[in-house]
Structure 1
């Protein structure tokens, strides 16, 4: 290895950290100089974000597909471009309402004083975005942070270098770097990013890395929003139409080749309908991707390492004698890392596919004969980021909703709760901390500051020392009316 090549990672790490420090300092100074952007300034910033997303659409599509090896332009448009622009436009539409001070009731014994909650920008927000939806998961939280009046620094994943470069250039072409900028680099830069004293930090990624991010942020007492993952179940009730459920689950699992934090991770179905469920999901997958090995509609696995991890999961379960149904060639096209949908029928609970978040097109299907059995299975693990329920029995549906805890739920479909800007998106427990999207995002990136306006007619001094019998009588009266 040439000497200059050997030292490249250290040089890149140093440059990344220096650029991070420079940009953070600039943004912090800019925030202190102008801590409360006006409504018009915030609207202008949202417009810039919308413009850069739409005008660079072709570049984003090309870069993301190149980073993956292949990804359908339609998937990128739907899951990245449309979702990002929709979220920013939603914030633009509702921003004036979100920014308003909110009057709250003041206790009668404190009248005629007034109480209000006044949203205030936090300062500089740091965002670490993942590789699986590298545009949406960078710009959607950025839109929320900008709407709340903050400055934003984004650190994209090193696994999507082409998208990172295009995104950095696109943001630099529209935004002053004191308002919004991108920092690129490897693991060292990422570590430095988590240790930077941001005023709020949002990380999207795995639970294991999220724990390390939280620990690093805690050194600065930086508040965090962690969008993680986990094993999101799809529960097919005995009252469900198996065909309809199968179409939804197959689509939810195979979008982006299962590399989606809210993808169905496994399926619970009545034992008597196990075979029918397997056949229906396999059939639905074949209709979605008739030429799964070669079609440009189907996404590649992001890297050789991730591809090898998924193949290892499959082979370990195969060696245990578990029945496997593959939709597509078992000899997946390795140069493009196309992995067929791999259905596993009732794998052991101690297998990797049942202990780890899969994050790929592998779908275990397990029997659960009753609603109680499904609840017990879900509650035996960590709280998932998403839960999907299929059926027509409202009582069974409500029992699931009331007796399981998950970040979000879609009933009789998959994924779609995430696309609703009026619903907060986030996890619970090991699937995440905090939420954003819509007004929830504005609130996350704001300090909802409580302000008490004392009346000029107030006489609070009557409760000051020295305390007398008169003080006791006043206190007794107050205690009766509160």
Structure 2
């Protein structure tokens, strides 16, 4: 097996052999990726279920495979337009001339993939990097070995030498991040994001960091609880809450708190009837993560919080790492539950007495990756959109902004750096090369030395007016 460095050098060599793939080459790669993805979709569903212990095939198709196929279709639809050099204005003092911007492939792009959505978070940035004409190296998570095997087969079938697959633990990931990529995209925790950025800085490698944090749900006083409860619930229970943009905590008017709790409990039981044997609900990925979540609950309870499980469990649930949605009331402000990203099916409920108090609560904390506002009050919507920073926003919905093909996705501050998806994804993996073109005559001759000419003096005075 080649070393990671050797594989990187091979990717560089391949890029220099085709530094600007034409439209047809890029379209062919994307089309072949779609064909291979469809052909291996059943195998991917089985593999993800194996890696998680329990995950519905339907959920994998809905949350991972379908968005990838839609994303490829979007890239194919817009790629021709994106590849056309963009004309820019020329100031009349530089005429006659033309200005344009050419989207140039960067070279070799590195992508570090997390375990929670091993298909979508591998193929979504991959398709954007391929559309931009790059070679790619994918570092897949060591916690999804079965899925990695299928992704390896897909990439070999569809893309050949355009993509290298790397597997391994944290030490391999550190070695991967230290390579002199032309761009490095990392999806994962903020803590690891710091390390990735430090490693990339040694090579001045530009980075995109898709991190996470505590994404709040702000339920306004005018919200219809019955209508928004299932939307909130879907966002929190999809993949058992193991989603970077999952609702992390809920701010609710104090007078509506008990009604919200009752509605969430009822809707959870409707979503997942006979919970202990329900196969639509995902397991926690591994014992380490399951134990971490249990410790968060135990610590909160010991500190005086009330835990409200939305379903009964049996011993098999513990053995299979299946944890029902657990609502947490009266958690202390300094508890880990309210300070660190939860990344699981635990939902703190925090009452407030005024909207200003709720907005202040969010703004006093690190900028979130997502913000979910439940309201039909247009004045409040405008206030939150303009005054509360967040990577992305859903109004009267959760999660689904990520699935909008024409919207950029990314965080801000501690929740991320840079964004992709949509046209921003193509641009993120391209160098926007500025081109200024002159013909046989150039007006620049009037500003050449010597500078003591009267014409130059007059021209300089006119340009500096």
TM-score by length of 2: 0.98
Deviation, 1:330, is: 5.4
Query: For this pair of structures, how many residues does the alignment match?
Result: 463
Q: CA shift at 1:346, angstroms?
A: 3.0
Structure 2 partner of 1:3 = none
How much has 1:165 moved relative to structure 2?
1.4
Q: What does the per-residue CA deviation read over 1:86-124, in whole Å, with 9 as the maximum and x for residues that have no partner?
A: 111100110000111000111121112111111000001
The correspondence for 1:213, drawn from 196, 220, 223, is 196
Look up the match of 2:41: 57
- 1:294 corresponds in structure 2 to 277
Write out per-residue CA displacement over residues 253-310 of structure 1, whole angstroms, 9 at most, x where no aligned residue: 0000000000000000111111111111121111111122221100000010000000
Once the two structures are superposed, the pairs formed by residues 190-229 of structure 1 within 5 Å of their partners are 190-229=173-212
Question: How far apart, in 1, do the equivalents of 2:88 and 2:401 lie?
Answer: 31
Q: State the secondary structure of the residue aligned to 1:281.
A: helix
Q: Secondary structure at the match of 2:164?
A: strand
Does the 8 Å contact 1:114/1:455 carry over to 2? no
The residue that corresponds to 1:277 in the other structure is 260
Q: Hey, what does 1:359 align to over in structure 2?
A: 343
- 1:58-207 pair list within 5 angstroms: 58-177=42-161, 179-207=162-190
Find the aligned partners of 1:436 and 1:64 in 2 and give their Cα distance: 25
Structure 2: state its 5+ residue gaps.
Answer: none
Structure 2 CA distance for aligned equivalents of residues 21 and 292 of structure 1? 48
Task: Tell me what 2:18 maps to.
Answer: 34
CA distance in 2, matches of 1:324, 1:212: 35
Aligned 8 A contact 1:155 1:190 in 2:
yes
Aligned to 2:384: 400
1:258 aligns with 2:241: yes
Give the corresponding residue for 1:8: none
CA–CA separation in structure 2 for the residues paired with 1:75 and 1:20: 34
Query: SS in structure 1 opposite 2:397?
Result: coil
In the alignment, the residues of structure 2 paired with residue 106 and residue 371 of structure 1 have an alpha-carbon distance, to the nearest angstrom, of 49
- Distance in 1 (CA, whole Å) between partners of 2:344 and 2:386 is 29
Specify whether residues 356 and 330 from structure 1 end up closer, same or farther in structure 2 by C-alpha distance, changes over 3 A only.
Answer: farther
Deviation of 1:184 (Å): 1.3
The answer to whether 1:346 aligns with 2:362 is no
1:249 matched to 2:232? The reply is yes
| Correspondence for 2:27 | 43
Give me the whole-angstrom Cα distance separating, in 1, the residues matched to 2:274 and 2:423.
42
* 1:380 aligned residue (347, 356, 364): 364
How far, CA to CA, are the matches of 1:51 and 1:152 in structure 2?
Answer: 19
Maintained 8 Å contact 2:106/2:429: yes
SS in 2 for 1:176: helix
Q: 2:407, 2:421 within 8 Å by CA — same for their partners in 1?
A: yes
Mapped partners of 1:171, 1:379: distance in 2: 43
Q: Where does the alignment leave 5 or more consecutive residues of structure 1 unmatched? A: 1-14
Q: Which SS does the other structure have where 2:371 is aligned?
A: strand
- Shift in Å at residue 407 of structure 1? 0.5
Distance in 1, matches of 2:246 and 2:282, equals: 14
SS in 2 for 1:308: helix
Give the distance between the partners of 1:50 and 1:369, measured in 2 at CA.
50
| 1:307-318 equivalence runs, <5 A | 307-318=290-301
Output the aligned Cα RMSD.
1.2
Asked if 1:475 is matched to 2:464, the reply is no
In 2, Cα distance between equivalents of 1:243 and 1:459: 69
CA distance in 1 between counterparts of 2:389 and 2:288 reads: 32
Contact 1:101 1:118 in 2 (8 A): yes
Aligned to 1:452: 436
Instruction: Assess, with a 3 A threshold, how the Cα gap between structure 1 residues 367 and 242 changes in structure 2: closer, same or farther.
Output: same
Distance in 1 separating the partners of 2:192 and 2:374: 32
